[in-house]
Structure formats: structure tokens, C-alpha cells
Amino acid sequence: MLKKTNTFMALLAALFVSTIFGLESAQAEEKNRLFEIRTYYANEGKLDALKARFRDHTVALFKKHGMTNIGYWVPVDNKDNKLVYILAFPNKEARQKAFQGFVNDPAWKAAYKASTKDGKLVKKIDSEFLTGTDFSAIK
């Protein structure tokens, strides 16, 4: 019985240590995340179709490939047909791997093909990488 108790206690201790280490690792990873703010300029008359593609396909595919969806916005006065969104990644290498998986995903290829059958939705994309500051609520 003592041997079983010792084994159980050792397993419990290992679980506790790995949980604590995992939390610390996740907190450190989150603290040093890489953010990408992307601005899409939709072609005339295509903003609703672009938003539908994101809503119905892209957001879930981003998540599937390890991207963290922070948020999606459109300007109040949207003369340029913009869709702005922010993604988060553990680091730049993870970002590259995630996007490579995303663009090669058959579900993305099918969604892209279906959504552009009547013409391209996007005329221009701007992208910028950001890191959190020590006073930011999101890091």
C-alpha cells in the first residue's frame, strides 16, 4: 500500500509541477507575443462579401492554424472600404508557420475560390507587426 501511495504522490507532484511550469510558460509566451495588425481595402461593392468570408471561414481557419483572433473592426466613416483586424502569435516563426498552414489549407482554398467567383474582394492589404508595451492591458 505504501508503494502505491508513494507512486500516487509522485504522480500528483509531477502533475502539479508541470501545471505550474505550463502556466508560467504560457504567461511568459503571452507576455512576449507578436501582434499583427492587418488592414484590407475591399474593392468597391465587395466589403460585405469580404466580411462574410471572414465570418464564415477565415476566423475559424485562423484559429485552426494557431492564430489568436484579437478583434475585427470597420471604421465608422468607411470611405475606403476597410476591414481592420489584429492577430496574435507566440513569435514571428509561429506566425510564418501558421500562415503557411492557412494558405495551404484546402478549406481556405475552397472558400477563397467561392468568394472570388464574381471578382477579387481585396485590392490592397497593409500589415504591421507590433509588440505590447509594459503598460498595455494586452501584451
pLDDT tens string 53-90: 999 999 999 999 999 999 999 999 999 999 999 999 99
Residue 105 pLDDT > 60: yes
**Considering only 20-24, 64-68, 101-105, 119-123, which range has the smallest mean pLDDT?**
20-24
Residue position matching grid coordinates 501558421: 98
8 A C-beta contact, residue 72 and residue 104: no
Residue 11 vs residues 3, 16, 44: alpha-carbon distances, Å: 12, 9, 61
8 A C-beta contact, residue 44 and residue 81: yes
Residue 63 vs residues 3, 80, 85, 88, 98: alpha-carbon distances, Å: 44, 27, 14, 10, 9
Residue 100's pLDDT is what?
98
Strands 122-131 and 34-42: antiparallel
| 113 pLDDT tier (thresholds 50, 70, 90) | very high
Residue 3's pLDDT is what?
57
Residue 86 vs residues 40, 67, 73, 130: alpha-carbon distances, Å: 11, 10, 9, 10
Residue 129 pLDDT > 60: yes
Residue 26's pLDDT is what?
44
3-state secondary structure of 86: strand
Higher pLDDT, residue 45 or 19: 45
The set of cell numbers assigned to 1 is: 500500500
Residue 1's pLDDT is what?
57
